[in-house]
Structure 1
């Protein structure tokens, strides 16, 4: 009898330990996030490959050590991104060099960023990026592969692309909350972004307007801060947003070629110094999943471009 009771008691203890471990797993808070984004003008169903025609990005983010936070800091995250941006002229079927109204190239890059979010809903981030234009950016190969896979038209014009050039850039971003209504369903924020480097140099200013179910800026998909250093649960989000941006262009290697090259390529252009961007979208996030859909249109990057440009963007993130 005693032996039987002992075995029952032991089984109960093991069961309790297993249950407790399962509860701990169920209460696990994510510390890592994987993100994917694709930009493409085909999302607008206009059957074109124009100007900034495709962008593909893979990003991983991780929380910092919670003991490193200052007294006024709410969150701290670092991340790594690898991506490619592809640029055509007004079409991807260029037969003559005179048709190239925007330089043809891809831009392949790797970036590391460090983001800090404060209880006052201010945020600051620093990014270092190394990238290349020209044949090494693999634009022709990637675009040909896409067109063959989806049985699209044959591309032409990559013989006019920019020459190979590496460069490194540093970017600083600062922003924060400007206003939020009492009902907590609408707010206005703003940010300033400055980039200095051999591929890109410029300054942007961008207000942002959110409408819907929104979280504070230090734990929102809008600022890529749903990962939480202290492992706190984050509420669901679903909102529309509009973000206009005024950008001053100091240097753009995808338009002007490599900064230190004598032979930059067969076609280069001096950029328009001021470019207006308009970004409209919807964002959704719940538990481990984030989704976003956006539409971007902007003024001419080069004064002589035949058209203004617009494209769509889709993205998702998963935290674990």
Structure 2
């Protein structure tokens, strides 16, 4: 008797289709910020950032009707700042303080069916030597054979840091057969490290999912999804001009409660930022790269600066 391979082939295709459309409840992410990604040879101001996070989607069938998705996340992060160079031993020539910020963060995200999003987060961390900024930058430079680091003796001093943050995102319009989109983004920070607010306009174009299913908003994960994603794989370009109002920045001004840091400056109260990026995402993986340009942040001889940001994300059950 002859055996036909068609039933087996059909089963394999069905399994493959199910796997490609499967949503996963959990996500691990790594993001790295560094000005060296732009290949300009500069090493100034916000010079390095490293962030690890875990996200989990709650059971969507148990949520109110107008709430599409709810997730929580836990993050660990470190930011490093230095003057015009990591080799700036003379405090008289430093146009920005050496500073490190190490923190842990917990956050909740509410994704509504009208494609509005609310995010609330809290951070606890430290500046100063306890932030391991000096150790991290020296390790990075020695590992990759970069120049020697000198000047961290004048860094912002140790201080326990507590910060609260809120963010609001809202779809404004999606046109051209869902290939072009405009959204509003706004945020407010209140804390001992960063206090301020900002607002911007997000533009995306390409193969897009709804904001409650998109990699841009870290919303690919799901748990008994209510609404099907528009596309299985996202690939889009995005731009986000944003105006920021800065009331306090401890990495520039030092401690909110004392004046024990040897080198400090006043912050610029208004800073404009422009982010340009590209994102590819399947149900399992996301790769994101963007470039961020910022106007002057410090009332000194410091100039505008820019850096690159690379994000890698993996989802699982």
TM-score by length of 1: 0.89
1:158 matched residue in structure 2: 152
> Residue 177 of structure 1: which of 159, 171, 181 is its match?
171
2:56 matched residue in structure 1: 62
1:13 matched residue in structure 2: none
2:182–2:201 Cα contact (<8 Å) kept = yes
1:239 matched residue in structure 2: 236
2:265–2:300 Cα contact (<8 Å) kept = no
**What is the distance in 1 between the residues matched to 2:86 and 2:176?**
50
Corresponding position: 1:252 with 2:246: no
> Residue 42 of structure 1: which of 36, 40, 44 is its match?
36
What 5-or-longer segments of structure 1 have no aligned partner?
1-18
2:102 matched residue in structure 1: 108
2:216 partner SS = helix
1:141 matched residue in structure 2: 135
1:272–1:301 Cα contact (<8 Å) kept = yes
1:210 partner SS = strand
1:306 matched residue in structure 2: 302
**What is the distance in 2 between the residues matched to 1:305 and 1:121?**
43
**What is the distance in 2 between the residues matched to 1:292 and 1:88?**
26
Deviation string 1:89-138 (CA, Å, 9 cap, x unpaired) is 01111121111111111100110010010111111110011121110000
> Residue 199 of structure 1: which of 193, 202, 208 is its match?
193
2:97 partner SS = coil
2:258 matched residue in structure 1: 261
Looking at CA atoms only, which structure, 1 or 2, has the larger radius of gyration? 1
**What is the distance in 2 between the residues matched to 1:305 and 1:33?**
42
How far does residue 287 in structure 1 lie from its aligned partner after superposition?
A: 2.0
Higher helix share: 1
How far does residue 182 in structure 1 lie from its aligned partner after superposition?
A: 3.9
How far does residue 183 in structure 1 lie from its aligned partner after superposition?
A: 1.4
1:187 matched residue in structure 2: 181
1:142 partner SS = helix
**What is the distance in 1 between the residues matched to 2:77 and 2:107?**
14
> Residue 289 of structure 1: which of 285, 288, 291 is its match?
285
1:206–1:245 Cα contact (<8 Å) kept = yes
How far does residue 28 in structure 1 lie from its aligned partner after superposition?
A: 5.7
How far does residue 143 in structure 1 lie from its aligned partner after superposition?
A: 0.8
Structure 2 vs 1, CA of residues 197 and 68 (structure 1 numbering), >3 Å: closer, same or farther? farther
Alignment of 1:114-129 (within 5 A): 114-129=108-123
Root-mean-square deviation (CA, aligned residues, Å) is 1.7
Deviation string 1:203-227 (CA, Å, 9 cap, x unpaired) is 0101100011111111001111111
2:130 partner SS = helix
How far does residue 253 in structure 1 lie from its aligned partner after superposition?
A: 0.8
2:23–2:220 Cα contact (<8 Å) kept = no
2:69 matched residue in structure 1: 75
